[in-house]
Amino acid sequence: MTAVDEARAHLARTKKSDNHAEAVAELKGAGSAGRDSSATLSRLSRRKSKSQYQAGSVSAADAAKSIDWATRLFETAKSVVST
d(CA 80, CA 12): 12
* 41 burial level (CB within 10 Å; 0-12, 13-18, 19+): buried
Give whichever of 16-20, 28-32, 55-59, 61-65 has the largest mean pLDDT.
Answer: 61-65
Q: Quick one: pLDDT at residue 3?
A: 54
Please say whether the beta carbons of 44 and 69 come within 8 A.
yes
Q: Is the full-model pTM beyond 0.85? A: no
Please say whether the beta carbons of 48 and 70 come within 8 A.
no
d(CA 7, CA 81): 9
| Model pLDDT for residues 49-68, shown as the tens digit of each residue | 677 667 778 888 988 999 99
Question: Please, what is the average pLDDT of the chain?
Answer: 77
**Beta-strand runs (E) in 1-83:** none
> What is the average per-residue pLDDT within 6-33?
70
More confident call, 8 vs 37: 37
